[in-house]
Structures are given as C-alpha cells and as structure tokens.
Structure 1
C-alpha cells in the first residue's frame, strides 16, 4: 500500500492539537485556522513542503494523537485503512462523502479511536468538555473500559441531567478500577 495513503488514512482517525482553553472538548476540534478536509480529495501531498502551515500543524497534531492511541486501536485503524484502500475510488469517495455528512460531534468522536469512537456520541454529555487537567486521565480511564462498561456508562451519560454531569463525571473518574463495575450497575439501575 502507498505509505502516504496509509499515513493519511491513519491520521484521519486521530485529532489535531487544541488551542489553549479552560475547557477542552475531549475529541479536540481542528483549529479554526486550519482548512476543512474536503469530501473530495485530489492528490495527496507527499512532502511537508506541499502543505500550507495550517495543514502541516493539523497533520502533526493528528500524528501526536495517533501515537497516543493504544497499539490495539492503531492496529484496528490500519486494518480499516487497508480495507478502504482495497475499495474502488468511487466507493472510497462515497464513504468520504457519507462520513462528511455526519454531525461534527459524531466525526470528532471517531478521532478517539475505534472503541471510544463508536460510543462517543452517547458519552458526549458527560465527557464532551472537560477541564484540561481531566482530559488525559479521563481518556486513560475510558480506554480501560470494556464494551459492557462503555454501554452502561453511555446510558448513565444520556440519563444525567446537565446540572449533574460534572458531579457524576467526577465521581466516576475518582473510582478505583475495581469499584467501577458496582458503580456502573448501581447508576444504570436509577
């Protein structure tokens, strides 16, 4: 497979570096000065000099986040990139267009990797915006959860009123790993 295509496919599954702020969205948005990725792509630049500074900063940020993903998540992204590369150009374009039509929050959630990406639209209420100091610990905890735990947490996130989200999130993040199952079961039952 063409290395630039694989790199860009993998980078498409990660995020860009955020601007400094008091509250940072968990899936960090592309900085406003960066040009949006068009649904139709022409040629893929093969050198850094072919990119404007905003595009280069975006790719560097995405690569940094890619590096922070667990190896199992990167393997899933590489597998997905191989499957997409095996499709015809028309099928690839149709997938890009379909993805581009999705809500921005949905698209941003996938930038957290395959496991969290599928749950993020439902977790967004609790974890969409975090104080900067909670972001990395929250991601580490969320990545430790199995599918059942993520499903339970997504139910809790959807049921938690906005005025209670910070308290519920803080309680959950403060739990020892062994206490998470009981806490999740207790809160799902509410």
Structure 2
C-alpha cells in the first residue's frame, strides 16, 4: 500500500464516524426553565452515544468538530479513504486500526487537520504542535492556504528551526502576507 493511500486510510479511522455526520447526534443541553418542555424522545441521548464514557464522548465531539472544520475537498478525500478502508478485509482493517492506535497521540491528533496537513503534521509538529490558543485559527487558515510545494518548504523550515526559535519563526511566518509567502518560504528553506 503506498504512503498516500495508507495516510488516507489512517485519517479515515479517527474520523470514520464523522464521514457520516448525520448519524452523529451531539446532545443538546437540557432546556432552561423558561423554555417549554420538549417531548422525552426529542431530548433523549442516542443509546450508543449515551453508553460511552465521558472521555469517549469528548473524543467523538472533538472528531466531529474537526470534521466540520475541514474544507469540503478534504472531507471528500476522507470519504473516499473511508470507502477504501471499508472495502478491505476485516483482518486488514484491524491491522490498520492497531497500527494507528500504536502511534503517538500527537501524530494521531495531527490527522484531524485533514489529509494534506495530517500527512505532513509529524514534520510540522515542532512549529505548530503547540500553538497558543489565540493563534490557532489564524495558523490553521494559513496552513490550509499553502500549496503542496509550500507545505514541503515549511516542513523543511520546521525541521531546521531550533526549539528556542520556534515561536519567533512561527510568528514571522504567520505575519507574512500571502503574496510574499512563497518567497519567504524559499528563503527560509534555503532554496
């Protein structure tokens, strides 16, 4: 199996429930006293979700939020990977699930960013693994705008940046206007 297909299948694993979001019901908070009472059937938790422990419910919600944050093109790639995964024999699916679970949590979380960023996330982790909360949305928006060539250059920058310089390099990268980003990346990557 080539690296791209394997990567797509790995991405499909944690997001497999999100591939069919209509089956994922996130419970709503209980109605406030000022709100008229709903029928019991409309407020009941889906039985499968209700049987999960709190950590599993948080994980499902996080997976769903990650799915919703992906651009439609990335979601389609995941749907295709999920279809390929579902077409595999059960023993091969189980082997891939085990391989994925054995990976470092940071690696697994990187796949929530979608196929393109998820594939490169282990190399980008140094610069983007610990982004301050106030920079996360902006950083993710910029990363999603990068072409595959720019992403490859950024992985070189990330791998060559010493830990003590990561915050400054990330801030400089995020501050570069889109029109100048390509030249900045080439300079930083030494190309």
Q: Is the CA contact (8 Å cut-off) linking 1:10 and 1:78 kept in structure 2?
A: no
Of structures 1 and 2, the one scoring higher in RCO (CA 8 A, sep 6+) is: 1
The yes-or-no answer on 1:168 pairing with 2:175 is: no
CA distance in 2, matches of 1:8, 1:143: 18
Q: After TM superposition, which residue ranges in structure 1, 4 or more long, deviate above 3 angstroms?
A: 5-8
Q: How far is the alpha carbon of 1:121 from its aligned partner?
A: 0.6
Tell me the residue number matched to 1:114. 115
Q: Is the CA contact (8 Å cut-off) linking 2:15 and 2:67 kept in structure 1?
A: no
CA distance in 1, matches of 2:13, 2:189: 40
- TM-score norm. by structure 2 comes to 0.74
Q: Can you list the C-alpha shifts for 1:132-156, whole angstroms capped at 9, x where unaligned?
A: 0000100010011011000000000
Q: Is the CA contact (8 Å cut-off) linking 1:125 and 1:158 kept in structure 2?
A: yes
- TM-score norm. by structure 1 comes to 0.74
The yes-or-no answer on 1:156 pairing with 2:163 is: no
Q: How far is the alpha carbon of 1:106 from its aligned partner?
A: 1.9
CA distance in 2, matches of 1:119, 1:146: 12
The yes-or-no answer on 1:137 pairing with 2:138 is: yes
Structure 1 or 2, whichever has the larger Rg, is 2
The yes-or-no answer on 1:9 pairing with 2:10 is: no
Distance 1:151 1:7, change over 3 A: closer
Q: Is the CA contact (8 Å cut-off) linking 1:109 and 1:117 kept in structure 2?
A: yes
User: What is the aligned-residue RMSD (CA, Å)?
Assistant: 2.3
CA distance in 2, matches of 1:8, 1:156: 29
> SS of the counterpart of 2:16?
helix
Distance 1:66 1:108, change over 3 A: same
Query: Which 5+ residue runs of structure 1 have no aligned equivalent?
Result: 13-44
Distance 1:129 1:83, change over 3 A: same
More helix by share: 2
Give the paired residue count.
Answer: 154
